[in-house]
A = this chain, B = another copy of it.
């Protein structure tokens, strides 16, 4: 059987930075060439970054992307890399598509360019656009209807893009077209346990299609998304033969024995399963037999480590890609801000993390000492700004009481953080967790203030689990655990009035998180949640809190998605609505 050395380039592209991304592609092509690869595969839309959202419809961006793709192909040949076949995702444009309602302006395509010999020898576009969860591609792209088969060194290579692989039918099209290798560029965001789902999917499609399959994904953070890489290769029997590390840039090469091209030359308009198949021959001569290398098959990270690393990468790239030097966060001594501090130090190093302790008359001694202990253990900068003088000044004019007085303290803290942010140039972090964001247990323009919310998608019970995991991870390596044990073990409190506990306002988090999982993540009706064993009145209360907090969530800072359903684009509901899940006694 003909051999082929395939390089998988798992890279961290920057949305909109075509020059940077082109250099990323070129440098990885050089590396692949040096490693003797015949084919190198890049992730989805690597040249523009992903997702570009409505920028896809800008005529100027389409033109720049197309020109840059031609430029990269030419540059490869100029550098003597013309024989290497590079599959590079980019923003292309469909021809002959008339303007009209329902047609994305300028007919953009989510496409790949097959580069060889200084030119783009084939182009293919995503057939099935991703339009659920956080995907809105039907808004931005025209779908493709062509399956290209490119013969490379006597092997028929087909490619489909990300969502295409998830749809039934694609494998039979690939099989009918007689491909020996299917490559899949992806922009597939991380969520917990998705690695298992992906491997299953790749295995299934390889077996269905009778093809070896090379899956290449982006890595890095982009607004609320974190790409975890997890690039892999399975052979035609569905056996995993290579897998990259998660959450890091990496290039791996894999040697595959592949079936000789059948060289079927159907008429150009032949259709298999609704797709027009087009063939391009780059080279029909198999490469001379050579000794294969052993590719890595790296094990997956543990469940908690995986989530923690996603949070670290999400924060790091949000800070770096937006050009911030440092972050600032309020450190209350509570577990949420403490965990955020540890994540920030892991992401940026302690010299780029600035904590502020804002004690009030209701702050306990341990809230200060726990914040100080975090600073001591991690080396982050901590300063103390008591809020009593500012609170007193407001109260002298307003005389607020009850909840209004509680919120005042949170907002005074936020004004301090934002003042320091403006003065010193830090990005402020909002430290709320998913259970709080869900129920609105936060002060809008208070603790909800910030440019980025590192644990917005982490429910409270998981906050504790991650904190314990992080400490255990340090201990196992003989390092200082960053998180003070007292911050983990003490009962949670907002400390906005004397002796206040979260459980004054909310059910215990073990119960709350169970109800939220059922109502928010699984979309169950209130009745169905009750049927899972929760108290009906409590379910009604939680559901009402969740529905009423939508106005707060709309103004909450972005944060990294780590579950199947982050708030925001994952779950779109009106602010103004009176849909109430009906309980039996309603």
Q: Which residues on A are within 8 Å of B, measured CB to CB?
A: 14-17, 20, 48-49, 51-55, 57-61, 64, 100-102, 104-105, 128, 131-132, 136, 138-139, 163, 166-168, 222-223, 317-318, 321-322, 385-386, 389-390, 392-394, 396-398, 400-404, 407-408, 411-412, 414-416, 418-420, 422-423, 444-445, 449, 451, 523, 525-528, 551, 554-558, 571-582
Contacts and interface: CB of A to CB of B under 8 A. Distances in A.
Counting chain B CB atoms within 10 Å of each CB, the highest count among A14, A104, A398 belongs to A398
Contacts of A451: 551
Contacts of A577: 14-17, 49, 52, 55
Contacts of A61: 579
Q: Which 10 A-B residue pairings sit nearest by Cβ, starting from the closest?
A: A16-B579, A60-B525, A404-B422, A17-B578, A16-B577, A393-B393, A404-B423, A15-B577, A390-B393, A389-B393
Contacts of A449: 445
B523 A20 contact: no
B58 A523 contact: yes
A580 to B, nearest CB: 7
A314 to B, nearest CB: 11
A431 to B, nearest CB: 16
Nearest to A399: B423
Contacts of A139: 131-132, 136, 572
A223 B550 CA distance: 11
Nearest to A398: B419
B16 A580 contact: yes
Contacts of A64: 582
A372 to B, nearest CB: 19
B393 A445 contact: no
Given A423-B398, A445-B414, A558-B554, A15 B578 contact: yes
29 contacts: A16-B577, A16-B578, A16-B580, A17-B578, A52-B577, A53-B573, A57-B523, A58-B525, A58-B579, A60-B526, A100-B167, A101-B128, A101-B166, A102-B128, A102-B131, A104-B132, A132-B139, A136-B136, A138-B138, A318-B576, A322-B551, A385-B397, A386-B397, A390-B393, A394-B419, A398-B423, A400-B423, A418-B444, A554-B557
A148 to B, nearest CB: 22
Contacts of A575: 223, 322, 558
